[in-house]
Amino acid sequence: MSVLDAEILVIGGGMAGVAAALSAVEAGRRVALVKRAPGATSMSTGAFDLAPHPRGWHLAKPDRDPTQLECLEALVRASPGHPYALIGRANEAEYLQEAFSFVLEKLEAGGLPHANFDPRDPGHHAVTSTGRLRRAASSQASHVLRDFNPDRARIGVVRLARCLGGLTGPPPMGGNVIEVDWPSSKNAPFLLPADIGKLLDEEGESRRFVEIVVAACKGRGFSHIVLPPVLGVFRTREILNELEEATRAVCCEALGGEASLPGIRLENALRRSLERAGVTVETGRTLDGAEVLERRGGPVVLASGRFIGGGVARRQGSMTETVFGLPIHDGESYLDDQPAEMLSCRSYRGPHSLFRAGLRVDDLLRPLDMGNRPLHETFFAAGSVIGGYDPHVDGCGLGVAVVTGYRAGRLAAGLEAS
């Protein structure tokens, strides 16, 4: 069966596309998914964020954090063009719980357990790749900074000698840095997190590593030890268990940074979830929008991503959607032919049209034409190809992907009709 003839076609294989494919399969449909190459999801940190702290996590006091639902409501008030604002149900705790639980269960079944998600709590603690303390909606289980009491915690941060992408910046809460000279490699000038992860998947190497870390932390009285996100591609849980037993401290990985290994783990788990669900997957393929429109009667979900995924790009000076050539919107107005240089501003947190560029959609996630009409009854969009928000500054990348992906899949399968 050509993917174009599938009952439901999903274009794009990041978090949004996979969430859509899985929720459509759950509703009993036969789904095909086409992807070009890894995108932003494969470079994510390991954390899912629903919405950010309204004033920024670096200003937050650890013991008085708002709930995630409150953060989302603040975000929607500040950005009326945000996808969360369009989907009325995104403000309901039950719906958020449903969408997230669905995706996280699939990931766990695919071999990558995550922290429990509840939008009514502030989220769990985690440490970023620059050593900052923050909260996340959910993360891969290895990132959770459990039992964290800001008044009593003594934090040790492990740094590996030649690891690219290891922790940078001062440790959180006045903690201590523990320099560990492992691995000692004469040949390679630096090692990527995935290289070290592969090495630690070998039992002999991980045992040696645990011994060295335990010796370096002995007698320091740490309650929590934060390690760089390199603890094996597959054996992360085992390695952390060994470390916790030997050090008697809570051990966790920091979130991923450059060349993120957690992002690769997520990409692998998404692929396994698609396999388990029986979705037909084609990789390395870019679809021609005209061909899709010609051959298809059935539902299509476009989840082609934004700049990294390649769903939104600059062609001949102005921004365009790359599969169907649809017009680009920033949540307030269409970008038309404005050159990309005119769409930015000085402040990092300012309202950059460029970084909110994407499709305009209605409350049923259907892309709209310039006359505000849906292009097709069963043509949906999900993830960062939708405009009106900045996944990075707005701190909601994977959150939007999960909520819109889950919903788009169900809409494509005929559920959740208006």
Partner 1 sequence: MKQLWARIRALILLGVQALFIQPLRRLRRLGKSGESRFLEAYAPSGLLPLSELEEERRFRFSGCIHCGLCDVSCDARRNARGAEIGSLSGIVIGYSRSMTDYSYARLSVEQFEQCDDCDICEAACPVDVPIREIITDIREHMVRLAEVPGSRGGGGFRS
Count CA atoms closer than 13 A to 36's CA, side-chain side.
18
Separation between Cα atoms, residue 268 and residue 107, nearest integer Å: 10
Q: How many CA atoms lie within 13 A of 269 on its CB side?
A: 26
Q: Which stretch binds partner 1 (CB under 8 A): 125-133, 195-203, 335-343, 408-416?
A: 195-203
Shortest reach from residue 256's CB to partner 1, in Å:
11
Q: Is the peptide bond before 62 cis (omega within 30 degrees of 0)?
A: no
Per CB under 8 A, 123 contacts partner 1? no
- Per the CB < 8 A criterion, the answer to whether 323 and 311 are in contact is yes
Count of residues binding partner 1 (CB under 8 A)? 27
Site for partner 1 in 168-187 (CB under 8 A): 183, 185, 187
Of 34, 9, 20, residue with least CA distance to 284: 34
Q: Select the span of 217-225, 293-301, 305-313, 355-363 touching partner 1 (CB under 8 A).
A: 305-313
Closer of 156 and 183 to partner 1 (Cβ): 183
Instruction: Return d(Cα 162, Cα 207) in angstroms, integer.
Output: 19
Touching partner 1, residues 54-83 (CB under 8 A): none
38 near partner 1, rule: CB under 8 A: yes
Restricting to residues 265-284, which ones interact with partner 1 according to CB under 8 A?
283-284
**Residue with Cβ nearer partner 1 (133 or 163):** 163
Q: What span, in angstroms and rounded, lies between the C-alpha atoms of 21 and 383?
A: 13
Q: How far is the CB of 233 from partner 1 (least distance, A)?
A: 9
Q: Which is nearer to partner 1, 37 or 293 (CB)?
A: 37
Q: Residue for token digits 């959910």?
A: 138
Figure out which of the listed residues 259, 368, 393, 415 binds partner 1, where binding follows CB under 8 A: 259
Parallel, antiparallel, or unpaired for β 224-227 and 250-253? parallel
Asked if 258 touches partner 1 (CB under 8 A), the answer is yes
- Name which position in 11, 15, 196, 361 contacts partner 1 (CB under 8 A): 196
Asked if 309 touches partner 1 (CB under 8 A), the answer is yes
Q: Which stretch binds partner 1 (CB under 8 A): 25-33, 39-47, 61-69, 208-216?
A: 39-47
Handedness of CA 144, 37, 317, 80 (dihedral sign): negative
Task: Work out whether 43 is an interface residue with partner 1 (CB under 8 A).
Answer: yes
Closer to partner 1 by CB, 21 or 191: give it: 191
Among 194, 364, 368, 393, binds partner 1 (CB under 8 A): 194
If the CB atoms of residues 233 and 335 are measured against partner 1, the closer one turns out to be 233
The reply on whether position 192 binds partner 1 by CB under 8 A is: yes
Q: Per CB under 8 A, does 203 bind partner 1?
A: no
- Residues 354 and 338 sit within 8 Å (Cβ to Cβ): no
Instruction: With contacts defined by CB under 8 A, name the span among 189-197, 214-222, 316-324, 342-350 that binds partner 1.
Output: 189-197
115 binds partner 1 (CB under 8 A): no
Cα–Cα nearest to 232, from 201, 192, 194: 201
**Residue 247 neighbours by CB under 8 Å, 6+ apart:** 213, 214, 217, 222, 225
Among 81, 310, 374, 414, binds partner 1 (CB under 8 A): 310
The contact set with partner 1 (CB under 8 A) reads: 37-39, 42-43, 183, 185, 187-196, 198-199, 258-259, 264, 283-284, 308-310
